[in-house]
A and B are shown apart, each in its own frame.
Chain A
Amino acid sequence: AQTVTQSQPEMSVQEAETVTLSCTYDTSESNYYLFWYKQPPSRQMILVIRQEAYKQQNATENRFSVNFQKAAKSFSLKISDSQLGDTAMYFCAFTDAGGTSYGKLTFGQGTILTVHP
């Protein structure tokens, strides 16, 4: 079974600064997807960034980038130029890329990020 671990229950950062959220995972699969989701207090889960395991290049989306270390099974999220709207719970998630029910997401416990003005 896959597991996803986020070891930082809470993080805080000043507006315009950079913050990194950590995530480790465990799997025996060789092909899979990793995700970071953002869940603001309004509760709607929003996809921030996605990484395909077979791609060596780290994914980037504007101010968001990941550091994907496949051998170490590590997948951290870097948020640059933090904005007040980035305040939310962030979840790391994993899914297999094969099988009849691939797409089933396994989530970590979440990290509450607070951006201070």
Chain B
Amino acid sequence: GAGVSQSPRYKVAKRGQDVALRCDPISGHVSLFWYQQALGQGPEFLTYFQNEAQLDKSGLPSDRFFAERPEGSVSTLKIQRTQQEDSAVYLCASSPGTGGSEQYFGPGTRLTVT
């Protein structure tokens, strides 16, 4: 079956622009996670959804970052007024149950802020 998909795969934004990154999880998966991966580093947790409820947003680096999953399926990560330090790969993962002992990752979106 289809895996986790993310779009766009690459995004270049000028500093100050707003961006929206999309994640399509595996159909029926309850849990959805967003991670930020800087070049050459391990991913870092941003936020977690269980269906449409955002249960943990402790990893969002600033109030410029906002995530939603209004119908419990597709999720969007929005970054307002992008800064150069926001340049990274943004990974989405989904899990069939409540929690993430079995997470399936998407290919990521590489964001470059110029």
Contact = CB atoms under 8 A, between A and B. Distances in A.
Nearest to B45: A104
Contacts of B108: 43-44
Contacts of A97: 99, 101
Interface residues of A, number: 26
Contact of A103 (B31, B43, B105): B31
Contacts of B48: 101, 103-104
Contacts of B40: 110
Interface string A89-109: 001010101001111111111
B103 A47 contact: yes
Contacts of A45: 43, 91, 93, 105
Contacts, number: 69
A6 B35 CA distance: 19
A33 interface: yes
B107 A42 contact: yes
Nearest to A93: B42
Interface of B: 31, 33, 35, 40-45, 48, 55-56, 59, 89, 91, 93, 95, 99-108
A103 B100 contact: yes
A95 B101 contact: yes
Given A44-B107, A95-B101, A97-B101, 11 more contacts: A42-B107, A43-B108, A44-B105, A45-B105, A50-B102, A91-B43, A97-B99, A102-B99, A103-B103, A104-B33, A105-B33
Contact of A105 (B35, B41, B89, B107): B35
13 contacts: A33-B101, A44-B106, A47-B102, A47-B103, A50-B102, A95-B101, A102-B99, A103-B99, A103-B100, A104-B48, A105-B33, A108-B42, A110-B41
A101 B44 contact: no
Interface in A39-73: 42-47, 50, 52
